[in-house]
Chain A
Amino acid sequence: MGEYKLLLRHSGDPSYATLDGYQRQGGYDGLRKALAMDRQQVIDEVKTSGLRGRGGAGFPAWIKWNGLPKEKTKPHYIICNADEGEPGTFKDKQLMETCPFLVVEGMTIAAYATQADVGYIYIRGEFVDAARSMRRAIDEAYRAGLLGRNILGSGMNFDLHIHTGAGSYECGEESALMSSLMGERGMPRLKFPHAPLPTISGLWDSPTLINNVETYACAPFILANGGAWYASIGASTKNSRGTKIFSVSGHVNKPGNYEVEFGTPLMELLEMAGGMKGGELKACVPGGSSVPILNAEACQKAIIGYEEMMEVGSMVGSGGCMFLNEHTSIVDFIWRTSIFYKDESCGKCTPCREGTRWMFLILDRIRSGQGRMEDLQLLEDVCRQIDGRSFCGLGDAAAWPVAGALKVFRHEFEEFIRSGRSLAARA
């Protein structure tokens, strides 16, 4: 099926990051159309489009958009989650650096649909280039009357601010992000059904919409061309519509971001990225470090789609796709994964704080050649104790890659424990 460049079509053109260049390519047609519709019609277009959240969870975007009260009694807020931190993912970075107006326009459309007064783009602190690009775009949009008071003469007011993080993976979790935005430690907050949804009570107890960068960047196209048109892309899949940007890295010849239509085979993505480097394909983590690893056989069968990926035992996730060649030790790779989650666990809840540490300790013992066969069962047990029991998704995300690798590459763990070393890794 090849690449399907929708969001990234003009990514290589530097003028696309300027308002003039953006408008030459149809920029702000979506907002103009949206402002001529009533709010509910805008939400209905998003519903028709079948757009699902691109941050990792794949939640239908329109349900969030529709969830804010229609009768406004408090300020409404919208947030763009640009705290891209999932290992292997770098799509939001490129979107913000090269297509910043897609994000600004997408957020403005969402603000109109949800009656939001103020928006925040929460960008991770390390992404200075992305933040500078967003800053230039926001400044330009203000100058042109596309942000601020009475946008395009419609009477709509919308202020957009940048707020940066300061080094914390956990802040990509939406409730932790809101804690951080409100000036707290980046820890998750009590969630539905134990607390109201953010759309009812989010930032400062006000109705709040939060979406990923790529999700907002889809909105201008959906409004400009219609939800039905968008839904025709990826229609071969069960319930995934449109395009998805995959950040391909690891042992490939041409690492980079590749945008594909849902329904594209995973192996085509590998081809786009120039094929394997340094050896045959052994494994792939298709959607960021949190999703279960696939072996080469499963990669052959995998189709890119939210449900389709689950059928082969993994997930689309954030689209951080790491291909690993035959010389990679899976034990070593999963050991490194466990370090990440141990370091990034915020410490709020016991299953995640203690569980991620124990997973690391056991994997470290195996990797150092001191592993025992019963460690594998112990690891599985720890995974079970974390999965579904942690306060937020970070715990689940830490357990899945370990549990997945133990299922798919168990023989390699056993081999490692028996011999005390990796037989896969090159000497």
Chain B
Amino acid sequence: MKLEELRFGTELIKRGFASMQKGGVIMDVVNAEQAHVAEDAGAVAVMALERVPADIRATGGVARMADPQKIIEIMDAVSIPVMGKVRIGHFVEAQVLEALGVDMIDESEVLTPADEQFHIDKTRFSIPFVCGARDLGEALRRINEGAAMIRTKGEAGTGNVVEAVRHMRAIMGGIRALKGMDNQELIARAREIEAPADLVIECAKLGRLPVVNFSAGGIATPADAALMMQLGADGVFVGSGIFKSSNPEATARAIVEAVNHYDDPKVIAGVSRGLGEAMKGLDVHTLREEEVLQTRGR
């Protein structure tokens, strides 16, 4: 091996890391004990948080990056990758998480945005980023800034899958609509959706996003997770849905299996039996405008 030929943090390594998560479930955890439950259930990674989104909603105030002590506690507890959230545009929180050695950063609308104009320039980091999106244009703007993975925003902390469905349909439908367009039409579409033309052309050619596309924001049951997979997700994030349910261990295992067998209703029926209460959840139509998280960053 030629040492001078070593390269760290290339696009291939960042997107490759995201590819290794495909077909998997990434679970929000707030301590070492929950991280163990997630790993034992078969999670492909955990998101280390101070509070799950449902509690962030309940607590109010400014939501920031978690205490590094908390993140280190979780990193020490498990062998699977550990992710952490930073505020939109807060590149110093991202520098801190990179210094701690987290495996991926989520630039997340669940935390209070630090910059209402710009997202983080993710090309300046050697660790990969995941970002939320509500439609194809937003997904491609984030990829253009260096995101190695996209997730639907959904409406975090509600346990209500309706917004994740809306966003996944918008992204997948947006890609399907590119089919059959010639180059000029693709460039015109790129202008309409405020996305770089080269990325729109790449999507048309691939028939999908050029990076891994997960679903997040309201997934609470095995059937929710399988729904998002059938709609075209490469995997799912489950936030409050596991540790706000009455039986987190069983719910975590059931969601992992539902993602693995997303196209087999018999398996989904089997794993859904006797799970107890799912998280209570919120009707997104009752949220006040300032309580809606998905409109943060665009």
Question: Are A and B bound to each other?
Answer: no
Residues on B lying within 8 angstroms of A by beta carbon are none
